Amino acid sequence: MTKRISFRQSGGFAGLIRGCDLDFDELPAAAAAALTTLLERRPSAEPASRGAPHPDAFQFSLRVQDETGEREVPLSSDEQTPAIDPLLRYLQSRSKPCKP
């Protein structure tokens, strides 16, 4: 079974929802490495601890489906680090407007 990725971005000033669905094999090497690292560090759907909320921050949802099942990893723009930048930049470049 091919690993599938579903990405959704919401929030920001306008509150728009954008996203894309693709196969893991479509990711460039840097984005694939960032996703692998992220999944190893955040094996569950529990959000990372955060400071004070930012109303206009972007919220990201990564849903990964493979032979072991499906996992969702929620992120916010407050958690964006250089390690996951290649992944988020690529997914954002592939994203199109989505319905809520």
d(CA 44, CA 71): 7
For the stretch 14-46, pLDDT in tens is: 778 999 999 999 999 999 999 988 888 875 555
Task: Specify the pLDDT at position 21.
Answer: 96
Q: What is the pLDDT of residue 23?
A: 95
Where along the chain do its domains lie? Answer: 4-44+57-95
HSE at residue 85, side-chain half, CA atoms within 13 A, is 3
- Per-residue pLDDT of 41-76, as tens digits, reads 875 555 555 555 666 788 899 999 988 899 998 888
- pTM here is 0.83
